[in-house]
């Protein structure tokens, strides 16, 4: 692809605070691409969530999925699927459906403290690489059905599925990321108890690591890893693990770095990516201008970095760096939302970030 072609990006605001924080991320991308001398993005607004149920009869309409298939990536706002009316509430939620439909197998979740923030461990700077398509998440590990079943009343069984090809590809993604960072990788597993399933995850990751002799590798059991993160988060670089462990560890790491309100993520396959804040829809503060847009803005920056890396587009990578620097400079200057001890509204914080990006 010529990097002169505008990136085609989807906008899915979602529920709750989504319509407040997603536009802030769009503004950040627009400002960063302009500052980097790159063509402006081509935006596609698409229905999703509660509003889509009202207009299209589905939380994830077919037109949304069909359009996303033609795009380079998209911004996904949080959804509040627990509040959807039936039968939508019992169906696979929009985020899970998109991850499964587009095989977004790599969930990349960085945790980095902010100077001027309120982090428990402000020197945290790590990335959790979470396998996103199998493991112990029942809604993603089978072709048909949920991966859960009840053979008798009062007995529930959930399958945890681990396959060599999918472990190999998430391990490669993690090792490649480690090469771009500090050349350290930690494998998190429970191979001492789950010897076949989690044991396979550990073994295959170690095998893949043989092809990356420049990356230092260690491994920890999941229970021990929680303790290590609390005691010495600053010593970790890239952490690779299966689906459920990655979900739990990334929430912990996000809180150590400041809060889930600043925890970004990107879900990627080999040919497209979805930017998605790690937090939920926060319906209790929706529409009040209180939401912290940092996680969504940083997720947007991660999307640009992914696009720049995929297409060898230095301007997109530069734009991503400008977003990260703009957010950090804004917090460092004392401007933040109330959850970080500040007084700025969602819009005011976004204004400050955009001004920093444009002036960088």
Distance CA 319, CA 175 (A): 24
Catalytic residue among 237, 247, 318, 339: 247
**Is residue 219 flagged as an active site residue?**
no
Q: Bridge-partner residues for 187, per DSSP? A: 219, 240
Kindly give the pairing relationship between strand 106-112 and strand 125-131: antiparallel
DSSP conformation class of 234:
G
**Is residue 251 flagged as an active site residue?**
yes
**Is residue 237 flagged as an active site residue?**
no
Helix, strand, coil percentages, rounded to 5, for the chain: 45, 15, 40
Distance CA 113, CA 263 (A): 10
Catalytic residue among 166, 190, 202, 313: 190
CB contact at 8 A, 135 and 244: yes
**Is residue 84 flagged as an active site residue?**
no
Structure-derived torsion over alpha carbons of residues 309, 65, 78, 166, reported in degrees to the nearest 10: -50
| Among 13, 8, 12, 10, residue whose Cα is nearest residue 291 | 13
DSSP conformation class of 83:
G
Describe the crossing of helices 314-332 and 346-359 by its angle, rounded to 10 degrees. 130
Describe the crossing of helices 294-310 and 346-359 by its angle, rounded to 10 degrees. 40
What are the Cα distances from residue 73, in Å, to 93, 186, 274? 19, 28, 6
DSSP conformation class of 82:
G
Catalytic residue among 103, 125, 139, 251: 251
CB contact at 8 A, 318 and 29: no
Q: How many residues does the chain have?
A: 360
Describe the crossing of helices 18-35 and 294-310 by its angle, rounded to 10 degrees. 40
**Is residue 270 flagged as an active site residue?**
no
Q: Which phi-psi region, left, alpha or beta, contains residue 354 (left: φ > 0; alpha: ψ -120 to 50)?
A: alpha
Catalytic residue among 137, 212, 324, 339: 137
Catalytic residue among 45, 123, 223, 270: 223
CB contact at 8 A, 155 and 127: no
Q: Which residues are known catalytic residues?
A: 137, 190, 223, 247, 251
């Amino acid at each position: 692809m010529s990097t002169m072609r505008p990136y085609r990006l989807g906008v899915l605001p979602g529920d709750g605070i989504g319509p407040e924080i997603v536009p802030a991320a769009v503004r950040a991308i627009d400002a960063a691409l302009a500052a980097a001398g790159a063509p402006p993005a081509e935006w596609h607004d698409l229905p999703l969530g509660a509003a889509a149920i009202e207009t299209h009869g589905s939380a994830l309409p077919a037109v949304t999925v069909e359009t996303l298939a033609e795009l380079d990536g998209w911004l996904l706002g949080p959804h509040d699927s627990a509040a959807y009316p039936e039968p939508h509430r019992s169906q696979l939620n929009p985020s899970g459906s998109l991850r499964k439909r587009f095989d977004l197998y790599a969930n990349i979740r960085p945790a980095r403290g902010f100077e001027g923030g309120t982090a428990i461990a402000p020197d945290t700077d790590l990335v959790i690489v979470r396998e996103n398509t199998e493991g112990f998440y029942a809604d993603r590990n089978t072709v048909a059905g949920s991966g859960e079943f009840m053979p008798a009343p009062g007995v529930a069984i959930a399958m945890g599925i681990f396959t060599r090809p999918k472990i190999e590809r998430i391990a490669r993604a993690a090792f490649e990321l480690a090469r771009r960072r500090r050349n350290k990788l930690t494998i998190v597993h429970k191979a001492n108890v789950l010897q076949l399933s989690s044991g396979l995850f550990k073994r295959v990751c170690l095998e893949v690591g043989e092809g990356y002799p420049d990356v230092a590798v260690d491994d920890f059991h999941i229970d021990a890893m929680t303790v290590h993160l609390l005691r010495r988060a600053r010593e970790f670089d890239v952490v690779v693990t299966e689906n459920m462990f990655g979900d739990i560890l990334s929430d912990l790491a996000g809180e150590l770095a400041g809060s889930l309100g600043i925890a970004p993520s990107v879900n990627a396959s080999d040919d497209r990516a979805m930017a998605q804040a790690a937090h939920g829809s926060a319906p209790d503060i929706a529409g009040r201008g209180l939401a912290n847009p940092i996680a969504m803005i940083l997720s947007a920056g991660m999307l640009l970095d992914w696009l720049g890396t995929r297409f060898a587009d230095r301007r997109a990578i530069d734009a991503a760096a400008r977003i990260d620097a703009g957010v950090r400079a804004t917090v460092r200057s004392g401007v933040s939302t109330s959850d970080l001890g500040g007084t700025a509204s969602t819009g005011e914080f976004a204004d400050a970030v955009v001004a920093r990006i444009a002036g960088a």
